[in-house]
Structure 1
Amino acid sequence: MPQLHLHLLSDSTGETLEMIAKAALAQFEGVEVVRHFWPMVRSQQHLDRIMGEITRNRGLVVFTLVNPEIRIQLESRCAEAQLPTVSALDAVTESLSRMLGQEQLHRPGRQHQMDEAYFARVEAIQFTIAHDDGLLWEEWEEADIVLAGVSRTSKTPTSIYLANRGYKVANIPVVPESPPPPALYRLKRPMVVGLTTSPDRLVQVRRNRLLSLNQAPETDYVDKERVDDEVRYARRMFADNNWPVIDVTRRSIEETAAAVINLHNERRIGQAGTKPV
């Protein structure tokens, strides 16, 4: 299998580059991609430190740099090393400049200032980590979203992804032998979303998890009949409480999170529409 070293170099957090790279790489199969992530490159000294690693792991350099001096240095040094470079946003910013009749501001992306949105996201991440796996249920009313689902339905990674988008998220495992706290059914502010999956897929995921931990893969945790009962119990709970449900069987974490955000936005619009004029 061919291998590609992909260097993602940004003067900001690099989130934009990561999304662009992921979308582009999805168009190719049968390639092993080794990603090298270089965020917050804002000085000549920082560029000097990472150039050695870039030249040792030859590949494609994709960047978003607005500082002309650092950009020129990167392109020059990559050209000397015969490494291809791509500026990820040039075509878009140049087109916008022409259409709007404005010069671009030449400032780094989301991190150019510690604004309210930045601090809100930090707070969301802290809240989400503190309220993982059913913890601190007394504070769930402060959440934006509460995810519920049986074990291994990607509750935690989905919660963290949403937190990075600024949402305060709590999550709780649905276990037939251990009912959730009654407070779950009285929540007003947060939107509760049920995550479900096919029992066959769930058995496979759980078995792989046990094997990765060097544990015996033949327990009640992966018993097909037991898993069927768990999934039915969770789905009945979701239906009884009229909570929206997302089937994660064939969804990536990003796709699940996007579906949750859509539900949250629809709920917010609906609530705004019912307010008295």
Structure 2
Amino acid sequence: MKRIHLHLMSDSTGETLEMIAKAALAQFENVDVVRHFWPMVRSRQHLDRIVPEMTSNPGLVLYTLVNADTRQRLEEHCRHLALPAVPVLDQVTEALEVALGQEAHGRPGRQHLMDDAYFRRVEAIQFTIAHDDGIGHEEWEEADILLAGVSRSSKTPTSIYLANRGYKVANIPLVVESPPPPALYQLKHPMVVGLTSSPDRLVQIRRNRLLTLNQQARTAYVDGERVKAEVAFARRLFAENGWPVIDVTRRSIEETAAAIIKLLGEHEREQPGRFEGVKPI
């Protein structure tokens, strides 16, 4: 297995850099990556304090530094240490400068300013947490998206991920013995999306869940035939109401969220103004 030291250096929180590195690393297998994370690097002095660690653990340097002086200092260190250094946002920024006909503002952490988008995301997260697992159905009309599915079909983690993108999300577990509240069928603003999964996968996830809770794994909750009936019940409900369905069996949370955002865009084009003001962050 190949081992690599990866130095991630940012003049802000480093969140963007981490996401880029994670996405790129997902393309490789059998690699042992040792991450060295250096956020809020905004001075030559701070940078110089990091150099001994880079010297001891040579590897690839990825950075998002907008201050010209700090960037130059880092590049000098990397040349001296013979370390490859990649400014990961430069090509994108340059392309945008050409397309927009203006120069980029070289301000560290600009994407994290507490603007309207920031407060919208905070509001979305608060709403989503307060409307998890079928809670607060009286306020579902305020949601942008409502996720429905049987237990352990990734409703909650997908909801939280979408909330971090600025969407207000509610979700409801579908239980054969307990019909959803009538409010579910009367919604006008939220886009309702059904999440489903293969029964075998659900049984596996549920068993693991019970084991982590030190509970008996021989219950109806993990009975194969019972789970098949639950999935069939949910699919009938989705079909009867014309709700789009996403099979999460082989999807990551990020992939499921991306599919939902795409559906939201399609609905907006079909019904202009329905989701006005709802934009991903």
The interval holding the TM-score normalised by the smaller chain is 0.7 to 0.9
The residue aligned with 2:116 is 116
Which letter maps to 1:10?
S
CA distance in structure 2 between the partners assigned to 1:269 and 1:99 by the alignment? 25
Q: CA 1:13–1:234 in structure 2 vs 1: closer, same or farther (change >3 Å)?
A: farther
CA distance in structure 2 between the partners assigned to 1:52 and 1:138 by the alignment? 58
Which letter maps to 2:242?
N
Contact 1:121–1:165 (8 Å) recurs in 2: yes
| CA displacement at 1:111 relative to structure 2 | 3.1
The residue aligned with 1:131 is 131
Contact 1:197–1:247 (8 Å) recurs in 2: yes
TM-score by length of 2: 0.84
The residue aligned with 1:204 is 204
Q: CA 1:259–1:95 in structure 2 vs 1: closer, same or farther (change >3 Å)?
A: closer
Q: CA 1:101–1:229 in structure 2 vs 1: closer, same or farther (change >3 Å)?
A: closer
CA distance in structure 1 between the partners assigned to 2:204 and 2:14 by the alignment? 34
The residue aligned with 1:144 is 144
CA distance in structure 1 between the partners assigned to 2:169 and 2:55 by the alignment? 41
CA distance in structure 2 between the partners assigned to 1:81 and 1:66 by the alignment? 22
Q: Deviations over 1:221-255 (max 9, x none)?
A: 22111110111111111112221111111111111
Please give the secondary structure, in 2, of the residue aligned with 1:104. Answer: coil
CA distance in structure 1 between the partners assigned to 2:134 and 2:48 by the alignment? 46
Q: Does 1:251 align with 2:255?
A: no
| CA displacement at 1:76 relative to structure 2 | 4.0
For this pair of structures, how many residues does the alignment match?
A: 274
CA distance in structure 2 between the partners assigned to 1:125 and 1:58 by the alignment? 39
TM-score by length of 1: 0.85
Q: Deviations over 1:185-204 (max 9, x none)?
A: 22111111110011111112
RMSD: 2.8
Please give the secondary structure, in 2, of the residue aligned with 1:69. Answer: helix
The residue aligned with 2:189 is 189
| CA displacement at 1:258 relative to structure 2 | 0.9
- Contiguous gaps of at least 5 residues in structure 2: 275-281
CA distance in structure 1 between the partners assigned to 2:136 and 2:45 by the alignment? 44
Give 1:52-63 correspondences, 5 Å limit.
58-63=58-63
CA distance in structure 1 between the partners assigned to 2:89 and 2:121 by the alignment? 24
- Contiguous gaps of at least 5 residues in structure 1: none
